[in-house]
Every structure is written in C-alpha cells, then in structure tokens.
Structure 1
Amino acid sequence: MHVHPLITDSKTLSDLCSRLARSPFVAVDTEFMRENSYWPDLCLIQIADESEAAAIDPKAEGMDLSPLLELLVDNEDVLKVFHAGGQDIEIVHNLTGKTPHPLFDTQIAAMALGQGDQVGYSNLVDSWLGITLDKGARFTDWSRRPLDQRQIDYAIGDVTHLVKIFPRMLAKLRKTGRGDWLDQEMERIADPDNYVTIPEQAWQRIKVPSRKPEVLGRLKALAAWREREAQNKNLPRGRIAKDETLADIAAHPPRVQSDLAKVRGLSGSWAGNDIGARMIAALAAATPLPAAEMPVREDRTPGLGKDGTLVADLLKLLLKIRARESSVAPRLLARTDELEMLAAGRRDGLAILEGWRFEQFGRDALALVEGRLAFAVRGGKLMMTMADTEGTA
C-alpha cells in the first residue's frame, strides 16, 4: 500500500478522491478536538483503500474539502468503513447536512461476531491482525501545527489497519450468515436525524426528580436557551451552565434577574449582564410541559408491576443464554427497554419480534412470556426447555 505524505493542497486531494471513487470501499477516520468547543474542531481526516492511504489536513490554507465530502455523502458506489464512527459521521453531517452512505461500522459488526458490545479499535486490531498499537499519540493536540510525523503515522494506521480487517470481517459474516443482520443497524447509524440537534429536545438529557409540568416546562425552556447559547458561542454546554444548575433553577426559579447572584453554579455577574437577562427571558416565556411530552415513569413500562419486573428479569437471563450460545453481543439482539415492554404485554413495534432477531431470540422470548418455555438445570448447566402446560388452569 502506498502511503502519501500529508495532503495540504486541494489539487492533490481532488486527484486522490478521483482514484478512490473507483474503489469498492474506503476506510475513513478523523481526528478532532472538542474539549473547549460545542462544535467538534476537525483537525485531520484519514482515508484509505486497498492500494493507497492518506491523511488530509483540513486546516491547510485554501484547502477545499468538497471532493472528499462528495465521495463520502454522494457516491453510492463506494462503501465507507468506520470503526465506532458516530462522531466521525457527526462531523461529516455538520459540514454537509448529510451522512456517509452506504456505510459499515466494524464495531457493530464485531457485536455480531461475538467480540463484545463496544470493542475498542486497539483490541479489534490485536484480535484480527495480531498487532499491538502504539497509543502514545492518542491524546495528542491534533489542532497544533505543524503536525509531527509520529502523529501522522499514528493517524494513518487507523485506516490502513481497517482496510485489512474489513474484508476478513465481511468474509466471516457471510460464512456465518450474519451479514444481513447488520443491514438495519447500518441504516440506523446512517440516518441523518441522529445527528440533528433540536434545542427544544435538549431537556430530555437532564435528570430531574420532579414530574410537575411547570418545572419540566421551565427545564425545557432553559435547556433550549443553553443549547442556542452554546452553539452561538461555540462553547461546551457546561461552560454556559451545568445540568444541575438548570435543574435547580427550573425547580426554584428566581423572580428577578438580580436573584441569579444567589444561584449556585452561576457567576454573580449574571445578576446584571446580558446572558443573565437572556436566561430570565427564557424563564419568563416558559409554559408548563404539555401532557403529550411528559416523560414516562422510571420503569419506562407503565403497568409492568412486580410480577412483570420478574418476567423482565427472566427475559434478560434468556438473552444472556441465547447471546452466549450464538456468540453475539446481547445488545445487538435486544435492548433492555424492549424486554420490559414485552414483559408488560406489548407486542407491536418491537424489533425483537421481527426479522432475524425474532429467529435468534424473539421467538423464545415470546414463548417464555406466554408460558411455553421454561428454565431447567441439567448436568449443572442452565438450559431452556419447552414447558408442559397440560393440566394448567
């Protein structure tokens, strides 16, 4: 494989992308910083196919990333391969309003091959290639210029190894008949809606004990206000105000701006400055949270009850057994909330009752809930057995 020197000009990048556009797949990774900003600061892009690899400097003067972005989001003939690509995809979406497509995530594929829920890249490389990665440059300052050769070599390795791993993974998935399992998952992570931040929904990430509509309405208004402030100033949310501070203000709202000086977690200057005035204005405009937006209770499954909780626990045990037998990560088969909804009596709209998940797990889960499947211990091993329902009332 030919590894190019760091690409810092648009012409070289355009030529590279023209060649890569003829490849069946490319491996992609990014390096970025976001400790001090709301938006991730893109510092480096790495891309490779089976013939060549390169790192691209998006900060280089006059760099036009258009050919690369077009390759990622508009070329449907080239598969884009990532590892744990959520944040990389977010960056592309921020730049284009689109997501890379079609795509393949090796972390999700590893779940189907029994390598755990969230296998790290270094463990993936070790298990598939027998290579121990040098992690020395992992926490480097990628925004600093010039980048040294060690940084570039480390970054390039993220795609050169991936190019070798992907075909092997694909072959094993086909051999085990699990390739189709991943189609739905890959489409899910490629959905652009996953990467759109809606300020009016930001409150849902904040934990607050109250279920009073007035409190939650104020929290919604405050969280939306903070999200816009953070976006406009390009600062992390916590630099504007921490979650616990917003929750406290929502529960105990100040009457006038001068009262902000008494709020723990806020600077005393907020009692008289512009940002404090904007917070007070957001509070004043808040309305009680509508009933349709009220969060479900903590158990997430109304009507589950004590017996239902026990059934859900049995389903979780069944999931562990089936996942172990199939050598697949449990999270790929079913989510906890789905198990609880099934235990509570829900049948419609559950992924575990559709497609391959039904064949691998859902059929038995349904049989267990309906009393047609039972646990048994044989030879010291926990097993499943069809229940004898004759004579039961």
Structure 2
Amino acid sequence: MKIHPLITTTEALAELCARLAKSEFVAVDTEFMRENTYWPELCLVQIANTEEAAAIDPMADGLDMSPLLDLLTDNEDVLKVFHAGGQDVEIIFNFTGRTPHPIFDTQIAMMAVSQSEQIGYSNLVESWLGLTIDKGARFTDWSRRPLTERQIEYAIGDVTHLSKIFPKLLARLVKTGRGEWLDQEMEKLADPDNYRNDPTVAWKRIKASGRNPAMLGRLKALAEWREHEAQDKNIPRGRIARDETLADLASHPPRQQADLAKVRGLSQGWKDNEIGRRLMATLEKAKPLPDEEMPPRAPKGAPLGKEGALVADLLKLLLKIRSREIDVAARLLARSEELEMLAAGVRKSLPILQGWRREIFGRDALDLVEGKLAFAVEGGKLKMTHVDDAAGAPGEPGAEPGSRAAAG
C-alpha cells in the first residue's frame, strides 16, 4: 500500500480524492480535540482504500477541504467505513450539514458476528490481523504543529488496518447472512437528526425527576440558555454549569440573583456578575412546558411490580442464552427497556417483535411471557423448552422436539 506524505495543499487533496472516488470503499478516521471547546476542533483526517493511504492536515494554511467533504457526503458510489464513527460523523456534519452515506461501522458490525458490544479498535485489529497497536500517541495533542512522523504514522495506521479488516468482516457477514441485520443500525448512524444541535431540545439530555410543567419549562429554558452561552464562548457546556446545577435551579429557582451564591456548583461571583443576570432573566421568562412537549409517561402496565420484574429478569436470561447460542451481541437483539416493556404487557411497536429480531429472539421472548416457553437443566446445560412439546409424544417419554440447548 502506498502511504502519501502529509497532505497540506488543496491540489494534492483534490488529486487524492479523485482517485479515491473510484474505490468501492474508503476507510476514514479523524483526530480532534474537544476538551476545551464546545465545537470539536478537527486536527487530522486519515483516509485509505486498498491501494493508498494518506493523512490530511485541515489546519494547514489555505487548504480547502471541499474535495474530501464532497467525497464523504455526496458520492453515493463509495462506501465510507469507520470504527466507532459517531464522533467522526458529527464533525463532518458540523462542517457540511450532511453526513457520510452510505456508511459502515466496524464496531456495530462486530455485534452481528460476536458477542462484543463495543469492541475497541486495538482489540479489533488484534482479533482480525493479529497485530498489537502502539498506543503511545493515543493521547497526543493533535492540535500542535508540526506533527511528528510518529504521530502521522500512528494516525494513518488506523485506516490502513481498517481497510484490511473491512473486507474480511464483510465476508463473514455475507457467510452468516447477517448483513441485513445491520442496515437499520447503519442508517441510524448516518441520520443527520442525530447530529443537529438544537438548543431547544437540550433539556431532554438532563436527568430531572418529576413531571411538573413549570419545573420542566424552567429546565428547558435554562438548558437552551446554557447552549447559547457555551456556543458563544466556544467552551464545553459543563464549564457554564453542570447538568445537576441546572436541574437544581429548575426545581428550586432562586428568588433573586444574590441567592445564586448559595447554589451548589456556582461560584460566589454569580451573585452580581453579568452571566448571573442573564441566568435570572432566563428563569423569569421561562414558561411552563406545554402539554405537547411533556415527556411520555411510562408505558401502560408499568411500573412492573415484583412479578413483572421477575419476568423481565427471565427475559434477560433468555436474551443472554440466545446471544451465546448464535454468537451475537445481546444489545443488537434487544435492549433492557424493551424487555421490561414486554414484561409489562406492551406489544405494539416493539422492535424485538418486528422483522428479523422477531424471528431470532422476539417470538421466543413472547412465548416465555405467555407461558409457552420454560427453562430446564439437562446434562448440566440450560435448555429452553416449549411447554406444549415438553411432555413428548405418547409412548416417547422425555421427547423434546421443541427444545433448544443453550450454549454450555
């Protein structure tokens, strides 16, 4: 594979992207810094196909990133391969308002061929290529210039390895027939709605107890205010105020600015500074959350109660058994909240009762809830047995044509 020198000119970038545009896929990775900023600062982009690889310096003077961004977001003929690519996709969306498409994430794909739910890149490389990654440059300051040869070599390695792993992983998916299981997951990763930064819905990310409209209205207003403050200053939102502080202010709003000095998480200066005045103005203008914005209530049948909780535990055991049987990550089959909803009597719109998930797991989960499936231990192994088959045919004691042996 040809490794190019660090790309710092628009001409070199355009030539590279013109060649890569003829590829079936490109492996992509980014290096960025976001510890001290609201917006992630893109410091390096690495890209490779099966023949060549390069690192691109987006901080180089005069470099126009358009050829690369167009390749990633406009070219539907080239598959974009990432590993744990959520933050990479977010950065590209921040630049363009678009996301890479079509997209493939090797971390997500590993869920369909193993029980790994969040396999790290180093473990991915070791398991597929038998190589050990040098982690020495992992926590480097990618914003410092000039970059060292070691930094560039480390960064390019991320995509050269990925370009070798992807065909092998794809072949495994084709062999097992599980490729279509991932279609929905990949589309979720590429959905622009996941990356739009809408301050008006920022409150939904904050944990707050209760459904009081006045309290939630204050929380919404405070969260939106914090987003704007952090964006204007380009600092992490937590440096304005922590989530817990906003929730406390929404639940127990101060009567006057001087009271801000008593709020945990705020300094004494808030009692008479400008940001404190803006916070108080936000609280004063806050309106109760309208009915149409209220968070949904717990599904009918919840809370589970003791018996329902036991059923949910059995469903989780069933999920664990099934994931081991077919060597797939449990989270790809079902989420805990779905199992609890099923145990609580919910049937409508549950992903585990639709499509391939119903065939692989949902049907048995439903049978378990309805008393048609039971657990048994035979020969030291846990087995799942359909109740109507457990007794066996007449004259054939112990016959269990409906049972499934769990992985031992």
With 42-51 and 335-344 compared, the bigger mean Cα shift is at 335-344
Match of 2:2 in 1: 2
Match of 2:156 in 1: 156
CA distance in 1, matches of 2:303, 2:135: 49
Match of 2:181 in 1: 181
Q: CA deviation at 1:292?
A: 4.2
The two structures have a TM-score, normalised by structure 2, of 0.92
CA distance in 2, matches of 1:260, 1:298: 34
Q: CA deviation at 1:296?
A: 5.1
Match of 2:25 in 1: 25
Q: CA deviation at 1:297?
A: 6.4
Structure 1: state its 5+ residue gaps.
Answer: none
Name the aligned partner's letter for residue 262 of structure 1: K
Q: 1:301 to 1:50 in 2, by over 3 A?
A: farther
Match of 1:336 in 2: 336
Q: CA deviation at 1:54?
A: 0.2
Q: CA deviation at 1:304?
A: 2.8
Name the aligned partner's letter for residue 305 of structure 2: G
Q: 1:300 to 1:157 in 2, by over 3 A?
A: farther
> What is the DSSP-based 3-state SS (H/G/I as helix, E as strand, rest coil) of the residue aligned with 2:80?
strand
CA distance in 2, matches of 1:249, 1:23: 54
CA distance in 2, matches of 1:381, 1:375: 10
CA contact (8 A) 1:30 1:44 kept: yes
Q: 1:259 to 1:192 in 2, by over 3 A?
A: same
Q: CA deviation at 1:263?
A: 2.3
Q: CA deviation at 1:68?
A: 0.3
With 311-320 and 240-249 compared, the bigger mean Cα shift is at 240-249
Q: 1:138 to 1:316 in 2, by over 3 A?
A: same
Query: Which digits, 9 at most, give the CA deviation of each residue in 1:311-344, with x for residues without a partner?
Result: 1111111000000001000000011111111112
Match of 1:53 in 2: 53
CA distance in 1, matches of 2:300, 2:150: 49
With 289-298 and 115-124 compared, the bigger mean Cα shift is at 289-298
Q: CA deviation at 1:298?
A: 7.8
CA contact (8 A) 2:300 2:344 kept: no
Q: CA deviation at 1:389?
A: 9.3
Match of 1:65 in 2: 65
Match of 1:313 in 2: 313
With 78-87 and 201-210 compared, the bigger mean Cα shift is at 201-210
CA contact (8 A) 1:312 1:340 kept: yes
Match of 1:268 in 2: 268
Q: CA deviation at 1:13?
A: 0.1
With 296-305 and 319-328 compared, the bigger mean Cα shift is at 296-305
Alignment of 1:237-252 (within 5 A): 237-252=237-252
How many corresponding residue pairs? 391
Name the aligned partner's letter for residue 282 of structure 1: T
With 56-65 and 281-290 compared, the bigger mean Cα shift is at 281-290
CA distance in 1, matches of 2:299, 2:35: 34
Q: CA deviation at 1:294?
A: 3.7
Structure 2: state its 5+ residue gaps.
Answer: 391-408
> What is the DSSP-based 3-state SS (H/G/I as helix, E as strand, rest coil) of the residue aligned with 1:26?
strand
> What is the DSSP-based 3-state SS (H/G/I as helix, E as strand, rest coil) of the residue aligned with 2:388?
coil
Match of 2:353 in 1: 353
Match of 2:75 in 1: 75
Match of 1:209 in 2: 209
Match of 2:368 in 1: 368
Query: Which digits, 9 at most, give the CA deviation of each residue in 1:84-120, with x for residues without a partner?
Result: 0000000001011110000000001111111410000
Match of 1:195 in 2: 195
Query: Which digits, 9 at most, give the CA deviation of each residue in 1:229-255, with x for residues without a partner?
Result: 111211101110111211221122111
CA distance in 1, matches of 2:138, 2:158: 11
> What is the DSSP-based 3-state SS (H/G/I as helix, E as strand, rest coil) of the residue aligned with 1:358?
helix
CA distance in 2, matches of 1:348, 1:300: 11
Give 4+ residue runs of structure 1 displaced > 4 Å after superposition.
296-301
> What is the DSSP-based 3-state SS (H/G/I as helix, E as strand, rest coil) of the residue aligned with 2:70?
helix
Query: Which digits, 9 at most, give the CA deviation of each residue in 1:350-391, with x for residues without a partner?
Result: 11111111111111111111211111111121110001399x
Q: 1:33 to 1:300 in 2, by over 3 A?
A: farther
Match of 2:257 in 1: 257
Q: CA deviation at 1:274?
A: 2.1
Query: Which digits, 9 at most, give the CA deviation of each residue in 1:255-296, with x for residues without a partner?
Result: 122322332322322222221111111101112233444445
CA distance in 1, matches of 2:69, 2:261: 47
CA distance in 2, matches of 1:151, 1:389: 62
With 267-276 and 159-168 compared, the bigger mean Cα shift is at 267-276
Name the aligned partner's letter for residue 321 of structure 2: I
CA contact (8 A) 1:199 1:228 kept: yes
CA distance in 1, matches of 2:314, 2:357: 18
CA contact (8 A) 1:36 1:235 kept: yes
With 60-69 and 217-226 compared, the bigger mean Cα shift is at 217-226
Q: CA deviation at 1:147?
A: 0.4
Q: CA deviation at 1:56?
A: 0.2
CA distance in 2, matches of 1:368, 1:200: 42
Match of 1:169 in 2: 169
Match of 1:101 in 2: 101
CA distance in 1, matches of 2:262, 2:345: 49
CA distance in 1, matches of 2:301, 2:286: 29
Alignment of 1:282-301 (within 5 A): 282-295=282-295
Identity percentage over the alignment? 71
CA distance in 2, matches of 1:56, 1:119: 26
The two structures have a TM-score, normalised by structure 1, of 0.96
